[in-house]
Copies of this chain bind each other. A is one copy, B any other.
Amino acid sequence: MSVGIRHDDLRRRNRAMVIAAVRRASQPSRTEIAATTGLSHSTISAISSDLIGEGILTEGKPSETGSLKRGRPQVGLGLNPEAAAVMTVVLSLNFLSVAVIDYAGQVIAEEQRRLDTLTMARGALIGECVAIVRRRIEDPDLDVRRVARIALAIQGITDTDARSMLWSPITPQTDIAFADILEAEFGIPATTENDCNMMAVALRWRDPQRYRDDFIAILLSHGIGMGLVLKGELFTGTHSSGGEFGHMIHWPGGALCRCGRRGCVEAYAGNYAIWRNARQLGEDTEPVDVSDADMRTLAASAREKDGPEREAYRKAGEALGYGLGSLFALIDPAPVAMVGVSAAAFDLIEPALREAIAQTAGGQHSESISFDTEPNELPLIREGCAMRALTFVDQEIFAPGVQARTGTGKNVA
């Protein structure tokens, strides 16, 4: 049950709040922080003085604030890049990428690697991940001061606690406890995150105007994934990362999905589904990998003339539209970001999608539902991981609670 508030918690929470305010804004003054947090000037003064003393925050140069106002100029507070560092590991189909990021959010090192994830043995896959992390951590050229957190994102299903990958389309392996493995190997706290959830987290940091409290990020790629933020918090399932939009049922008993079942949204809107429809291979055709280049060619020919290619995108739009309609029945409409290679073909998808959504309960105000597209998912995923890891450091390392955490830590995106 939820637990009472101890006296020490107070300072802890307010410290975390100040750090969060500094991370959100760029170089806010103490006065601005007081305004956004609602705390008094004296409190902010005390806390920020502590944080500066501990090397977590730094005072900006007074000149930087080009304010030509009268009075004592504000002095902006910033995150001390040297306070800590975090690592992101993004594992996607045939591709592994890591980055080291300083406390202020700047990438200070990275490394990428192709590998054949679909055929690799379990040990090899884990070994590659561990090895690439080790290379970055032990790199003597770089003063990787204190890597305080590792966030690994993977396409597929992870558990609610962000410890393990449960299932993934990029490998036949299941139940890999990446977080535990990395923690055991390096002694650094780690998490295993769902890629689409990280996309959502990143969108929220990139454009808090549009992606605020409620929005949806949908990955249109080989598979269909979703990251969902509701009421300002990342939505996860009761046991897993959840939000498996691609495996909502569009047509009972319909087309064959990569997951082995039938009629999933993905079986109409995933790359392989669009491909086999465009090539008129039949809905039972075994899913195959299609390269991004091939998808772009497909989109081009669909744009050129009417035919099976265009029809394939229409079907994808229909499936996505009915799926979104069902989703909207549950959560009400919200802004949508379409990410991934097929987001670049959204012009081909949108008409049928809107037509379908208009047939559903959520589509009452179909016009007001707005879509945004972003063809490149990888940078988003890495950015999300980075912010996730950094906010962990903000909260758990630099504002440590005396009290053992009983409640499920809020999924603040």
Which of chain B's residues have a CB closer than 8 A to the CB of A238?
A: 213-214, 230-231, 331-334
- Interface check A240, CB cutoff 8 A: yes
Chain A: residues with Cβ within 8 Å of the partner, total of: 60
Q: Tell me the minimal C-beta distance from A264 to chain B in angstroms.
A: 7
Which of chain B's residues have a CB closer than 8 A to the CB of A6?
A: 38-39
Question: Pick the contact of A253 from B38, B334, B359 — CB < 8 Å?
Answer: B359
Known: A247-B329, A322-B252, A331-B238. A38 touches B361 (CB 8 A): no
Question: Pick the contact of A261 from B1, B24, B332, B361 — CB < 8 Å?
Answer: B361
- Bound-state CA distance A230–B231 (Å) is 13
Could you tell me if B252 and A356 are in contact, using CB atoms closer than 8 angstroms?
Answer: yes
- Interface check A309, CB cutoff 8 A: no
- For the residues of A in contact with B, the DSSP-based class is loop
Q: Interface code A237-258, partner B: CB below 8 Å = 1, 0 otherwise?
A: 1111011110111111100000
- Interface check A17, CB cutoff 8 A: yes
Number of identical protomers:
2
Q: Tell me the minimal C-beta distance from A183 to chain B in angstroms.
A: 25
Q: A7-15, A71-79, A299-307, A340-348: which lies at the B interface?
A: A7-15
- Bound-state CA distance A311–B40 (Å) is 67
In the A-B complex, the 5 residue pairs with the closest CB atoms:
A237-B332, A247-B361, A4-B39, A248-B326, A4-B37
Residues of A within 8 A of B (CB): 1-7, 10, 13-14, 17, 21, 24, 36-39, 43, 213-214, 230-231, 237-240, 242-245, 247-253, 259, 261-264, 318, 322, 325-327, 329-334, 356, 359-361, 403, 406, 408
